[in-house]
Every structure is written in C-alpha cells, then in structure tokens.
Amino acid sequence: MLSILNFRHFGGIKLGTGGLVRAYGGVASECLRNAPTCLVKTKVPMGVEVPFDLLGVLYHQVQSFHVEDIKQDYDTGKDGISMVTFKVDFDQVDKLEDALKANCSRELKFYKR
C-alpha cells in the first residue's frame, strides 16, 4: 500500500537536474530579456562648510546638479559658517566640487562619505 507521504503526481516528464536547469533557465532568461530596465545611480552623501553670504551661490549650483536631501545646519560652532549636506550622483561629485570652487571666491571645506 502506498503511503500518502510517498505519493506525488506531477503529470509530466521527469526532467532530471539538467532538464530543470534548462527549463527554468530559459524562462528566467526570457523574463529578463523582456523586462524593462531602469538605471540606478549610487548617491554620495556630501557636506560643505559655507559662509552665510555664499549660500545663494551654493544653492544655485547644487540645484543645477539635481542633488537630493538638502539640509542646512547653522549650529556649526563657527561664526558666519553654515553646513549644507546633500546627496549627489556618484559620477557628478568631482564636477560639483569643481563648480563650487570656481563660483565661490573663498576656500570651501568639503566632506564626502
């Protein structure tokens, strides 16, 4: 007498290990080929110590680079200095830093993680 635990019904051909790999691999390959793609860029957290009078210049530059999560902290312990933090695409970090240095007449202190 067959035990319920030993009974299985699949209604098909026994594929074996190689057959399963080929069957599932082909389906997975087809799904990936037809799936839409989306480019995702890594964001780099950055911070800049900036004098109050250069905040407008800084904000103009960072907005042109489409940064995210802009935050500003006036409590830096340094008179007339604010810390602005944000996230920028990894491939734009050096370009943004160069643009800020070129458009600000003073030395800025950058922080990157």
Asked if residue 95 is part of any domain, the answer here is yes
DSSP string covering the chain: ---GGG-----S---HHHHHHHHHHHHHHHHHHHS-----PPEEEEEEEEEGGGHHHHHHHHHHTT-EEEEEES-SSSTTEEEEEEEEEGGGHHHHHHHHHHH-SS--EEEE-
Q: Has residue 6 been placed in a domain?
A: no
CATH classification of the domain holding 69: 3.30.70.260
Domain-embedded: residue 16: no
Structural domain count, the chain: 1
Q: Is residue 68 part of a domain?
A: yes
Domain of 68, in residue numbers: 43-112
**Per-residue model confidence as pLDDT tens digits over 61-108:** 888 888 999 999 988 888 888 999 999 998 898 998 888 888 887 778
Q: Is residue 69 part of a domain?
A: yes
Give the pTM: 0.63
Domain membership flag for residue 77: yes
Is 7 inside any structural domain?
no
